[in-house]
Structure 1
Amino acid sequence: MPELGLSTSTSQPQLPVSGNRHLRLVRNIFIGIFSAIFLVWAVLFVTKGRFLKGPFERTIAAMTNRKTEVHGDFQLYFAPFDIKIFAEGLQISNPTWASRPYLFSADRVDMRIAPLNLLFGRRRVRWLDLTGGALSLEWNVNHTTNSWTFASDGSAEPLQLPVIDRAKLQKTTVRYRDPRLQLLTDLDFATITSHEARIGEAVQFKGNGLVRSTPFTLLGSLLSPDATVARGTNQLVLHANTSTDRIDISGTLPSLADIENVPLTTSAHGRNAAELLGIIGVVVPNTRAYRVHAQLVKSGTRYSFSKMSGRFGDSDIAGAFTVETGMPRSHIDADLATDTLDIVDVAPFIGYNPDLVARRGFEAAAGAAGAAPARLLPDTSLRAEGLSAFDADVRYRVTRLRSHSVPVTNVVATVDLDHGILKLSPFGFTMARGKVTSEVTVDWRRRPARTRYDIRLGSTPMAQLLGGFGVSEAGTSGTVTGRIELVGDGDTLHSSLATSRGRIAFVIPQGTFWTRNVQLAELDLGTFAQKMFEDRLKEPVRINCGLVAFSVRNGAAAADPILIDTAKNVIVGRGGFSFASERMDLAFRADGKKFSLFSAQSPVGVGGYFSKPSLNVISPALLGRAGAGLGLAMLVAPPAAILAFVDIGDAKGAACGPVLGGATAAAQRTKAGNVRDDLGNSKSAKSGQTRRKRFLGIF
C-alpha cells in the first residue's frame, strides 16, 4: 500500500559544536579548581603546613608592620574545613615607644577559624586554646596612636575582640597603659574554659596598677561570660581600692572590651574626695569623709557622671559633671547643688583642715595651717601647681549654709579656670536678707599668685545680720551696705591679704539701732555699755548716717574714716588693723551734740587679735597710739562695737553726702561744709597721709 507521505520518525534538536565546547571548558575549569584545592588541602593536611611558617611570619609582619616570630612548632592547614593555626612561642612586637617589647606573646596558640567568615570580613574564632598569653595594650605619649592599631598613617582605632565560640585560656595577662591619663594596670585572669560558646561560671580577674602616682588594686568578675564569648551582653562587677578610697563599678557590657557609651553604676567612698579626684588630675580643696553614687558613661575621651548624689562631711551634694581628657588640656564641666552646706565643710576652700575645725575650732586649724598663735587666717598653699594643669567650668548652688551666727542662704558660685587663671564670678549669697555679690580672680600663672577681691554687700537689715549677737529686731531699722576691693600677692589666703592694697568701706544710711544688754560674741558690749554709761541704753539709737572705712596698704588697714552721725552724738574712730599680724588697735570716741545725762566717758579701745578681740576703756593719752584694726570682727558687729558709746560734748554734725558716698577722711565735711578736724586727717589729705603712717608704725 503506498505511503501517504506521513513519517513516524522524530527529529531531535542538536547543540552547536561550540556550545558543547563551552560546557566542557567550564567543567574542566571547575574540576581543575577543585583538584587544586584538594591538592592544596591534601598537601597542607599531610605536611600540617609547617613549611608555611616563614610566609606566615612575613605576611603577618607586612599586615601589621610589626616583627612576627614563631620560635617553636608551627602548623597551618584545613582540619577538615576550618583553618587550623597552631604556634608555639608566638611573638608579635610592639612599637618602640611601648613599655613592653611584644603586643602579643604566647607559649602556645591553637585556634580554628571559619574560612567563609574571613571572606566576608567577619572575625569569628570557632576554637581557641591559649596558654601563657600576654597582651600589651598601650597608647603613645601624645595619645595619637595605640599598639593595637596597625594603620600606616598612625591613626588610632578602638579595640575590638573577635567572637569566640569555644575557648580555653590559661595563665593569661593583660597590660593597659595610657600616659595621658598616667594610668598603668596589669590584670591576671583565672583559667577560662568554654564549650559551644558557653563558659558556665563567672570569670574572675585581679590586678594592680598606678594612676597619677597613686597605687591601686583591682578585683573583678564577668558574671555572664557565656553571653560575652558569643558577642552578647556581659555583667561586669569591678572593685578598685587605693590606700584611702574604694570605687565600685557595675553594668552590662555589649562585649568583653566594649565599655563605650555604656551606662555603668558607680559608687565611691573614702576619707577625702580631693584624693579621689586627684587620681584623674582634678585639684579641689580637701574634704571630710565622703560617699557618692553616680552613673558613669565613657564616650571616647569623655567621662560623664550623671545622677550624682552623696555626702561630704555634714553636707550633701548632687548634680552631674564631665571630665574631658581628649583635648590638649583636661577640662571639667559641672553642675552641682547642695541643699545644706555645713560651715565646717567650707573651711577647706580657704585653707583650713575641716576635721581639725570640727574637733578644735578655727583657731587650732589655723595654727595647723601655719598661722602664728592667736591668728585665724590659714597659711596653707592652695595647690596652685595643680590648678595650672586643667581647665574647668563649674556652677554650684547652695540652698542654705548651716552656721551658728550669720544666716546665709541661696549661695550661687560660678567657677571659671582657664590656663591658670581662676575666676569666681559671679559669687553671691543672701545674708540676713541682704545680697552679697563678689568677683574673685586668682592668677596662678604668677609666682606668687595675684588675687583680686571685689566683694559687695547690698542693703542688709542690721537686725537680721546681727540678730544672733543680741541686736533687737523690734528697735532696729538700720541697714548696712559695703564694698571690699583688695589686690594681694601670695599662694595662701593669709599671704594674699598680708600684701594687699585697696579699700574697705561699710555705709550705714538713716535708721535706728537697738541692742539688748547681753554679751555679743567675745566683745562684751552689753556689760561694757553698762559700766561706761552707768546705765543701760534707754531707747534705740537714731542714726543719721555712718561710714566705717579703711584704706589698705601692704596688708595694713587704717581708718579712713570711721564716722557715724546719730541724733545725739558724732562717733569717730582712729587706728586700724593688720592682715599680716592679725592685730587690731582702734580707738573710738562719742562726742555729744548737746548736753546728756551721761558723764565721765573715756575713749573705747578695740584691741587683741582677730581670734581674740578685746574691749577696753582707755585714757585720752592712748588716743594717739597706732594700732591694728577691728578686721573681720568689724563684719560681725560693727554697729554694736560703735553705736553703744554715747558721750557728752559739743560735736559737729556730719554732712551725710560724703559719708553715704563712702568718701575718704579728707573729703568729709561738717554740716556747715567745713573740713572735719576730728578724723585723723588734719586739715589736708597730705597731713592725713602723714598721720596714717604714724598710726601704722606699731606694726
Structure 2
Amino acid sequence: MSNPRNWRTFRADVHQRALVPAGVRLRSWRDWVRDNDPVYAAARRPASAEKWAAGVVLVLVAVVVLFLALFDWNMLRGPIGRWASVKYDRQIALTGDLDVNLFSWTPSAIVRGLKVGGPDWARDRDTADVDEIRASVRLRKLLAGQIEMPLLSFTRPRVVLITAKDGRKSWALNPNKPDTGEGLKLPVIQQLIITDGQLSFDEQRRGLTLQAAVNAREAASGAAGFVLDGRGDVRGSPLTLKIEGGPFMNIRRDRPYRFEANVTGAGSSLNAKGAITRPFDLGRFDATMTIEGGNLSDLYLLTGVTLPNTPAYRLSGALNRNERTWTFKDFDGRVGASDLSGEVRIDSAERLRVDAQLTSRRLDIDDLAAVLGARVRTNAAGTDTEAPVVVGGKLLPDAKLQTERLQTMDGTLTYRAAAVKANEFDVRAVNLGADLKDGILKLDPISFNFNRGEMNGTARIDATKTTPYSTVDLRLAGYPLESIIPARNGSSPLSGRALGRAKLEGPGASIHDFAAASKGSLSLVVPNGRMRAAFAELLGINASAGLLKLLSGDQSESQIRCAVADFTVSGGTATARTFIIDTDVVLAQGKGTIDLGAETLNLKIDGESKKPRLLRLWAPITVSGPLTAPEVGVDVREMVSQGGLAGLLGAVVAPVTALFAFVDPGLAENADCGRLIANAR
C-alpha cells in the first residue's frame, strides 16, 4: 500500500510544475485581450454605433424568422418546376400544395401532386406521379453533414420505368452520364411508408412487361413490412415477381435487412433469400439463390445475361452483390443428366461482362449436344425423357445462334468435365474455353479426350453481323477405329488409329447452316491397321473368297497398309480428291461427294484384287443416302441382286463415313502412305 504522504508530495509537485505555470499563462493572455482587443472592448463598453448594429442584426433575424414562418411556400412551386424541367429536359411540376416546417429539431416538408414526365422519346407516359410525399430530417445530423430521415412516406405513387431497345432508360435524369451499374444508395430512413404504390416496367429489348403493387407498412401486426407483388409477360410467357422485406422501423446501418425474392417466367424460376448487409445501400447484399427451368438460355429474358442452350436444370448457390459486381458462387446442381458446379461473375457496368468457371464431375455427352443446338424431347410434365435429338433427322444441329445477344456483352468461360458417362464415341474427358469480346466469340480450346486418342481444335465466330461467319479447325489424333465399328462374335472387323483434320469456314446462324455453306477441306488417314480378310476381299467384290470367308465365319485379318480420304469442300459440298484403301489383298479407290447441307452421301468404291481368284465380279460398291442412315449397295446392271452382300458391307462402310468430319489433307502426304498411294496408281 502506497504512503499517503508520498502521494500528497507527488500531487503538489505536479501542481507546482505543470498546472501553476499554465494558469499563469492563461491569466496573462486574458489580461492582454482585455487591454488590447478592440472587439472585446466594444462588447464590454459598446458605443452608440455598436448598439445600432446589434439592433439591426436582431431585427433582420427576427424579420427572416417571421418571413419564413408566414411564407407561402406554394409560391415556389412554379419556379422549382421550371428549373427542374430545364435541368432534366422533361416536364416536372408540383401541382398540389407545398408545406415546409423549418422550425423544428426535425424539419419537415409535405409535397402534394408531384409529376415527373418522361424523356422526349417517351413523352406519352409520366415517369412518376405521386399524390403526396412526406419527409423529415434530423437537424443535428444535417448540420454534421449527414442525412437521417425519421420519416419518408409516399401516398399513391405511380412509377413507370421504360427501357428502350437501344438501351435508353426513361428514369435516367442524366442520360449522358455513364451507367456505372452501382446500386441505389438511400439515406438512413427510420420509418418508410408506401401506400397504394404502383410500378410499371417495360423492357422493350427482351419483350418484358410488369405491373406491380408496392406497399410498405409499419405496424405491430404481421402484415408490417415491404411488399412488391407483380404480374406481367415476357415474350408471351406469364411473369410473376414478389419481393418481401421486414418493416422499416428503427433500422440501423450495422444491422442487415432481410428479404426474400421470387421470380417465375420464361420457363424459369428464381428464389433468393438473404439480407442487405448495410441497409439503405442497395448495391450490397448476400443471399442464397436457387434457379431452375427448362433451358438456361431462357434466363436472358429475365436477367439480360446470355447463356447457352441446355436441357432442364436446377442450381443452388450463394448470390452476392458488391456495387456493380454480381457473383453466383459455390453453386452446385444438375443440368440434364450432368452435374454442374462453379462460379459466375457478372460486371453490370455500361457494357455487361460475364466470367464463368464451370466443372462437371461426370458429364452426360448428350447434354453437351444440347448446348450445341440439339433439341430435347420432353414429356407432358416438361421434364427431359430422352437424349437430345436434331429435328427432322438431321445429324448437325440447326438451332440458330442469337447474334443480338452476343453483341450486348463480353466475357470468358472455362469448362472441364473430369469424367464422361459411357457413350458411343468413347469420350472420357472434355475441356472447353471461350472468350467473347465485341461480338467475336473465340473457342479455345475445344478438347475431347477419348479412351484412346484425342480431338483438339479452335473456332472463331464473328457475330457482329446478322448472319455469323465462322472458322473451325479441328484435329483428330490416334482415334481407334474399333471404337466406331462394334465387335461382332468377339472380334472387331476393323482396327487401327485414325488421324485427321477438319478445316472449314463460312456463314451460317447454326452448325447445320454453316456446314451447308462452308468451304475448306476434310481429310482422314489411317496409316496402318487391320481388317477382317472377308471384308478386305469384298472391297474388290471378290465373291469367291469374300463370301466363302463370311459364310464360314472366318476371323482371319488382312493388313491395312494405308487408308486416305481427302475431300475439298466448296459451297457445302465435299468432293473426294484422294480416296484410297490399300490392304495386302485389295487396292480400293473411291470417288464421289458428300453434301453437308442435305447431309447425304454419293460415293463409289472400285476394288482391284492383288491376287488371282477363281471368280471375280467387277462391280463398284456404292454408298449413298443420308449421313444418319447410309445405304451400301453394288452397282450392277446385268447381274443378280447383290442385296445380301450390300447388307454385309454396310456393317463396315456406313460407320466409317462418320469419320469424314475429322480428316486431314496434309496427312495424305505422309511418307509411308504417300509412297504406297503413288505406287498403287
TM-score category (smaller protein): 0.7 to 0.9
Q: Provide the residue aligned with 2:636 in structure 1.
A: 619
Aligned ranges 1:638-653 → 2 under 5 Å: none
Equivalent residues in 2 for 1:302-341 (5 A)? Answer: 302-327=325-350, 329-341=351-363
Are the aligned partners of 1:189 and 1:205 in contact in 2 as well (CA < 8 Å)? yes
Q: 3-state SS of the aligned residue for 1:456?
A: strand
In 1: Cα distance, 2:468 partner to 2:96 partner: 63
One-letter code of the match for 2:603?
Answer: L
In structure 1, the gaps of 5 or more residues are 1-12, 368-373, 518-527, 623-629, 642-657, 677-699
Q: 1:571 aligns with which of 578, 581, 588?
A: 588
1:562 aligned residue: 579
- Secondary structure in structure 2 of the residue aligned to 1:340: coil
Alignment TM-score, normalising by the size of structure 2: 0.74
Displacement of 1:58 in angstroms is: 4.1
Deviation digits for residues 318-368 of structure 1 (CA, Å, limit 9, x no counterpart): 2222334424x43332222223332332333444312279768777x431x
Partner of residue 108, structure 1:
132
Are the equivalent residues in 2 in contact too, given 1:406–1:432 (CA < 8 A)? no
Query: Partner of 1:411 in structure 2?
Result: 430
| SS at structure 1 position matched to 2:668 | coil
Distance 2:142 2:439 in 1: 53
Q: Secondary structure at the match of 1:637?
A: helix
Q: Whole-Å Cα distance in 2 between the matches of residues 535 and 303 of structure 1? A: 69
* Residue 374 of structure 2 corresponds to residue 352 of structure 1: yes
- Residue 645 of structure 2 corresponds to none
What is the CA–CA distance in structure 2 between the aligned matches of 1:445 and 1:78, rounded to whole Å?
58
Change in 2 beyond 3 A, CA 1:302/1:140: farther
CA contact (8 A) 1:41 1:77 kept: no
| Pair 1:269-2:287 in alignment | no
Which residue in 2 is equivalent to 1:294?
A: 317
Match of 1:543 among 552, 555, 560: 560
Q: Report the counterpart of residue 610 of structure 2 in structure 1.
A: 593
For residues 482-517 of structure 1, give each alpha carbon's deviation from its aligned partner in whole angstroms, at most 9, with x where no partner exists.
122233443333333233333322212234345999
The yes-or-no answer on 1:480 pairing with 2:480 is: no
Aligned-pair distance for 1:238?
0.8
Aligned to 2:273: 250
Instruction: Quote the Cα distance in structure 2 between the aligned partners of 1:462 and 1:504.
Output: 17
- Residues 567/505 of structure 1: CA separation in 2 closer, same or farther (3 Å cut): same
The equivalent position to 2:668 in structure 1, one of 657, 662, 665, is: 662
Q: Identity rate of aligned residues, in percent?
A: 22
How big is the shift at 1:407? 0.6
Classify 1:663/1:189 alpha carbon distance in 2 versus 1 (closer, same or farther; 3 Å): same
Contact 1:97 1:140 in 2 (8 A): no
> What displacement does 1:470 show?
3.9
The CA distance in 2 between the partners of 1:376 and 1:461, in whole Å, is 22
Deviates more, 1:252-261 or 1:66-75: 66-75
Equivalent residue, structure 1, for 2:461: 442
Does the 8 Å contact 1:91/1:105 carry over to 2? yes
3-state SS, counterpart of residue 249 of structure 2: helix
Return the alpha-carbon distance in structure 2 between the equivalents of residues 150 and 344 of structure 1: 49
Does the CA contact (< 8 Å) of 2:313 and 2:333 recur in 1? yes
Question: In the alignment, is residue 506 of structure 1 matched against residue 512 of structure 2?
Answer: no
Contact kept, 8 Å, 1:227 with 1:234, in 2: the verdict is no
SS in 2 for 1:422: strand
TM alignment of 1:456-467, pairs within 5 A: 456-463=475-482, 465-466=483-484
State the distance in 2 between where 1:63 and 1:307 align: 47
Partners of 1:289 and 1:398 in 2: CA distance: 18
Contact 1:88 1:109 survives alignment (8 Å):
yes
The one-letter code matched in structure 1 to 2:276 is: L
Partners in 2 of 1:558 and 1:151 — Cα distance? 57
| Whole-Å separation in 2 of the counterparts to 1:589 and 1:616 | 12
SS in 1 for 2:587: strand
CA distance in structure 2 between the aligned counterparts of 1:610 and 1:141, rounded to whole angstroms: 42
Kept in 2: contact 1:347–1:354 (CA 8 A): no
CA contact (8 A) 1:508 1:660 kept: no
The partner residue of 2:514 within 474, 496, 501 is: 496
SS in 2 for 1:402: coil
Alignment of 1:238 onto 2:254: no
Residues 403 and 466, structure 2, Cα contact 8 Å, conserved in 1 = no
Report the alpha carbon displacement of residue 38 of structure 1 after superposing the two structures with TM: 6.7
> Which secondary structure state, in structure 1, belongs to the residue aligned with residue 627 of structure 2?
coil
In the alignment, the residues of structure 2 paired with residue 497 and residue 322 of structure 1 have an alpha-carbon distance, to the nearest angstrom, of 34
State the shift of 1:53 in Å. 3.0
Match for residue 43 of structure 2? Answer: 22
> Do structure 1's residue 53 and structure 2's residue 88 form an aligned pair?
no
Residues 491 and 555, structure 2, Cα contact 8 Å, conserved in 1: no
Query: Residues of 2 paired with 1:490 and 1:152: CA distance?
Result: 37
Say which SS state the counterpart of residue 73 (structure 2) adopts: helix
CA RMSD of aligned residues (A): 4.9
Please name the residue that 1:4 is paired with: none
Alpha-carbon distance between aligned partners in 2 of 1:151 and 1:485, rounded to the nearest angstrom: 47
Name the CA distance, whole Å, in 2 between partners of 1:633 and 1:324.
53
- 2:188 pairs with one of 155, 158, 163: 163
Letter in 2 for 1:535: S
Query: 218-227 or 600-609: which moved more?
Result: 600-609
Q: Secondary structure at the match of 1:263?
A: strand
Q: Note the alpha carbon deviations across 1:428-450, whole angstroms, 9 max, x for none.
A: 11123101112233334566544
Alignment-mate amino acid for residue 499 of structure 1: A
Corresponding residue SS for 1:495: helix
Change (3 A) 1:80 1:300: closer
Deviates more, 1:175-184 or 1:607-616: 175-184
What's the counterpart of residue 365 of structure 2? 343
Secondary structure of 1:190's partner?
strand
Cα 1:129–1:468 change in 2 (3 A) is same
Q: Note the alpha carbon deviations across 1:1-32, whole angstroms, 9 max, x for none.
A: xxxxxxxxxxxx9x879756423659999998
Structure 1 residue 131 and structure 2 residue 155: aligned? yes
Deviations 1:429-482 (Å, cap 9, x if unpaired)? 11231011122333345665443332211123334x236454968997632211
Q: Which moved more, 1:79-88 or 1:469-478?
A: 469-478
Structure 1 CA distance for aligned equivalents of residues 560 and 358 of structure 2: 43
Q: In the alignment, what sits opposite 2:240?
A: 217
TM-score, normalisation: structure 1: 0.72
- The whole-number CA distance in structure 1 between the counterparts of 2:173 and 2:665 is 73
2:184–2:283 CA contact under 8 A, matched in 1 = no
Give the whole-Å Cα distance in 2 for the aligned partners of 1:462 and 1:616: 22
Change (3 A) 1:249 1:640: closer
Taking the aligned partners of 2:467 and 2:175, their CA distance within structure 1 comes to 47
Q: Which amino acid aligns with 2:188?
A: V
Separation in 2, partners of 1:215, 1:459: 51
Distance apart, 1:204 and its partner CA: 2.2
Residues 95 and 101, structure 1, Cα contact 8 Å, conserved in 2: no
1:681 paired residue number: none
Equivalent residues of 1:450, 1:487 under 8 A apart: yes
Give yes or no for contact 1:165–1:230 (8 Å, CA) kept in 2.
no
Aligned partner letter, 2:436: L
Cα shift readout 1:543-572 (whole Å, capped 9, x = no counterpart): 322223333343333433332333333233
Q: Specify the alignment match of 1:117 in structure 2.
A: 141
Q: Contact 2:533–2:555 (CA<8 Å) still a contact in 1?
A: no
Per the alignment, do residues 135 and 269 of structure 1 end up closer, same or farther by CA in structure 2, a change over 3 Å counting? same
Deviation of 1:302 after TM superposition, in Å, equals 4.0
Deviation track 1:585-624 (CA, whole Å, cap 9, x = no partner) reads: 43445444335688668654333322222333453879xx
Q: Which moved more, 1:548-557 or 1:170-179?
A: 170-179
In the aligned structure 2, how far is the partner of 1:589 from the partner of 1:481? 23
- SS of alignment partner, residue 142 of structure 2: helix
Count, aligned residues? 617
- Give the structure 1 partner of residue 601 of structure 2: 584
Letter paired with 1:75:
D
SS in 1 for 2:368: helix
Residues 400/576 of structure 1: CA separation in 2 closer, same or farther (3 Å cut): farther
Going from structure 1 to structure 2, the CA distance change for 1:409 and 1:563 (only over 3 Å counts) comes to same
1:188 aligns with 2:213: yes
Contact 1:41 1:78 in 2 (8 A): no
In structure 1, distance between residues paired with 2:168 and 2:519: 48
What corresponds to 1:427 in structure 2?
A: 446
Query: For residues 103 and 229 of structure 1, do their structure 2 counterparts lie closer, same or farther at Cα, with a shift above 3 Å needed?
Result: farther
Residue 352 and residue 481 in structure 1: after superposition, are their counterparts in 2 closer, same or farther (change >3 A)?
Answer: same
